[in-house]
Amino acid sequence: MCLISFKTLTAALRAVSVLKSAGIDSQAVNIDPNLTKRGCSYGVQLSCYDADDAVSVLTKKRVQFGEVFGK
């Protein structure tokens, strides 16, 4: 599984909704704040197979995200 970090739970939930509209399954999760450079504590977990497409969709829809882990 891959993980995309977000600053807020609201942003992570918006990302899940945007990804669902694009046919990408994901779920919002709490992550260890020490995992990210900024101390983000929310993320979206998804298949690594979909990670590149997810990044493209989020960028196109202007959903700001942090790091992508597990790729």
> Is residue 26 exposed (0-12), middle (13-18) or buried (19+ Cβ within 10 Å)?
buried
Q: List beta partners, residue 3.
A: 45, 69
* Beta bridge mates, 28: 44
For residue 42, the enclosing domain spans: 2-69
Residue 6, H or E segment:
strand 2-6
57 confidence band (pLDDT: 50, 70, 90): very high
pLDDT digits (tens, 9 = 90+) for 1-49: 999 999 899 999 999 999 999 999 999 999 887 777 766 689 999 999 9
Q: What is the domain-level CATH number for residue 17?
A: 3.30.70.1530
**Structural domains of the chain, count:** 1
Structure tokens given for 36 = 């990210």
Supply the pTM of this predicted model. 0.89
Contact between 43 and 6 (Cβ < 8 Å): yes
- Six-digit token pair at 11? 């942003």
